[in-house]
Structure formats: C-alpha cells, structure tokens
Amino acid sequence: MEDVEGVVFYNPEMASIEDIDRVHLCAPSAQDLLSLSHFISAGGAIRAARARMDGEVERAFAIVRPPGHHAMQTVFGDRGFCVANIEAVMVEYIRRHYGVRKIAIVDTDCHHGDGTQDIFYNDPDTLFISMHQDGRSLYPGTGFPEEYGGPAAPGLTLNIPLPPGTSEEGFAMVMERVVAPALDDFGPELIINSAGQDNHYSDPLTDMNFTAQGYARLTKDLNADICVLEGGYSIEGALPYTNLGILLAMADMDTSCVAEPDYRPERFVQTKEMNNSIEKLCQQSLDIFTSRESLRKKSSGQDSVVQRRRIFYDTTGFEVGETKVYHLCPRCPGYTEVAAVGQGRHLHGFCVGFFSCLKCQQKAQDRYGKTKPSSDTKVILQDKKANLFTSK
C-alpha cells in the first residue's frame, strides 16, 4: 500500500504519562503498569488523530498493538490483553488539544468494549456503540442492552449482543437500523471506530462469520474519521485480508477483489431465526436511544448515584472491588468519585470532566484536599478541565 497514491504512512510517537493519567487511575502508577509497547501503541493512536485533525489526511487508521478497549478507568493490571485504553487516550487528547466536544465511538470488535464503556459511561458528549458476540458466550461477559449509560448520559451507551454465527447480513442490519440513525441524531464532530477484526470466521477465539468483504462494507458505511485496530487473532487467515479491506475502503478505493482464498458467500447465509433475533435487538437498542430524555428524567433531582461491582482481571486471575459515585449536577455532568481495591492496593479518586462546571470542579478539588492517603491507599485528583493530574 505504500506505493498507492493518496495513502501515506506515519511512524507512531510516544504517549506521555500525562496522556495516560488524563484517562486512567492506575495502581500503583502508569509508570509501573505500562510497558514501552503500551506508550507506543497509545502514541500511534494519537499520531493518527493529529494527522486527521491537522488536515494531513482525510481519514486515519492506527494499526497498532497492544489493543486497549478492555482497560477501564481504574487499572490494576492487564485485562483481555489491554492495560491502556488507546482509543480513550486518543479521544481525550483530541478534546484537550483540539477542543472537540461531541464524539462517537463505534466498537466493532467481537468482544464487548467494556473498558471504553466504563470510561465514557456518564459522559453526555460521547456516544458509545458496541456490536459484539453475546457476552453469555464470550469474554468479558458484559455488553447487554440494559447497560445503557450513567445518570448523566442514559441512552448514549448502546450495546448490541449478537448471536454466535452472525455474518455480513447481521452486521449490515445493525449498521442500517441502529448505528446510522443514532449517529445522524447525535451529530458527532468525530466518529471513531474501534476496529477489532476478531469477528472473522477464521478467528480462533470467537464464533462469528464475518468476512473481509463485510469489514470493507462496514468501513464504507460507517465512514469513520479515525479507525484504531483492536482484536483479531487469525494472523494468516484473516488479518491480511481484513486490514486490506479496511484500508481500501477508507481510501475510497475498489474493494471488490478483496477476498480470502476460501471465501464462499453461500457459507455465510443467516437463518430466518437469527435474522429475527437481530431485528429485535436492533429495535430494542433504537428504543433505548430514542428514550434517552425520559431516562434522564429518572435521575433528575438526585444528588448522587452509586454503582458497585467486581472487575475480573483474566490475565493474572484476580478481582478488583470498585465503587463509583456519580455526583450529579443540574448544570453539567457533575464529577465522579471512585474507590477501588485489589492486589492489596487501594485507589480513591476524584475525577472532573472537560465540561464539568466550575462549582463541581471546586467540589472535587476540595474533596481531594480533605481526603488523607494511607500506607495502602493512593488518593488521586484527575481534573481534565484544569489539565491537572496529581496524587498523594
């Protein structure tokens, strides 16, 4: 592709500690948890974003590894091959340096993008859509329609858990009936695609029937400003063809000749029962999105909403207990307080978004100032509005 007119290649740069701390609360720290490859991968996504935002290219594809969409706001280690959420790092870099507000992230990886969902769950300026294999049959076991967003952003997280065996027909239905109308209504300034390629029929970790032609069509239909590579583990059977299909589609070039050696369209015809099931999922997701204002009213008048859960770290086999308190505000998304414990370490964080009001920002800063650390508890202030990331 390097000799194709209109296609240019860039080397990645290194993400900074500040770029990581703008998104994550790390125990013990980003320096301790991230390897050089994580900083390069996140930096590659940032470089792709800069190329797009500075007008060097019309669209950008960050072909980087390690992936990132399972890394949540709190990070105690590796989850699903992810330590740093490279899309989130890139998105918040764009907001900080380019002033973009409304962003849509469409995750087409076969695994639910639970980390990205977590980071933007209460952000009314981010629309997150994940189409993935049903979590009852695949890691991480989440991503159901009832996970539709926090109290300040209900209906702006859309999960479409597709049945195993879903093919091009099913993905096209989701794009037409959910993704396209939601994007049109939300009106993002930028569209980001978490472009996982493990929906491919040859992938050893999943059970879907997507093809290189399907990826090319999805890429054309989505017309994302920036794609970021996520999963995909069929090194020879899928990735050469799926990546080519995505690249050609982003470059507005002919994709009709992109096909795997064993590609036979008749192998991937969906049953009527599967089509009916996906139709119902699409309608359910669209109903949630169109009901977001009524959903928002359910939390109006509340001072805070508490969310408690256990987070499993599959790579090393431990759990983290986490409590999030969304401190609500009638003027802005409020601020978030996070307490998490795992591996003998405690985090207590106070997080201010880019678009929190000055009153909420001051409340979070005051709470941080009054909270005392201990020998096993790290207290963190993550203030995106002030670009201030500190701990004690």
pLDDT > 80? residue 183: yes
* pLDDT on residue 278: 98
pLDDT of residue 2: 72
Give percent above pLDDT 70 in the chain.
Answer: 100
- Which DSSP category does 123 fall into? -
Residues 358-371 have a mean pLDDT of 98
Query: How confident is the model at residue 4, as a pLDDT?
Result: 79
Mean pLDDT computed over 66-71: 97
- In which order are the strands placed within the sheet that holds 377-383? 304-313, 318-327, 335-342, 345-352, 377-383, 388-391
> Is-contact 229 12, C-beta < 8 A?
no
Q: How many Å apart are CA 265 and CA 211, to the nearest integer? A: 9
State the Cα angle at 122 between 21 and 151, rounded to 5°.
Answer: 150
Beta-bridge partner residues of 325: 306, 337
Q: Class for domain 17-298, per CATH?
A: alpha beta
Provide the pLDDT confidence category of residue 1 given band limits of 50, 70 and 90.
Answer: confident
Among 38-42, 124-128, 262-266, 307-311, where is mean pLDDT lowest? Answer: 262-266
Marked catalytic residue, from 70, 111, 112, 132: 70
- C-alpha 257/C-alpha 246 separation (Å) is 13
pLDDT tens digit sequence for 70-108: 999 999 999 999 999 999 999 999 999 999 999 999 999
Look at residue 316 and tell me whether its pLDDT is greater than 90.
no
Average pLDDT score over residue span 305-329: 96
DSSP string, 192-259: EEEE--TTBTT-TT---BB-HHHHHHHHHHH--SEEEE-----TTTTHHHHHHHHHHHHTT---TT--
Positions of CATH 3.40.800.20 in the chain: 17-298
Of 347, 344, 288, nearest in space to 323 by CA: 347
pLDDT over 80 (residue 3): no
d(CA 151, CA 335): 12
Annotated catalytic residue 200? no
What pLDDT does residue 382 have? 98
SS3 97: helix
Tokens 């994007």, located at residue: 183
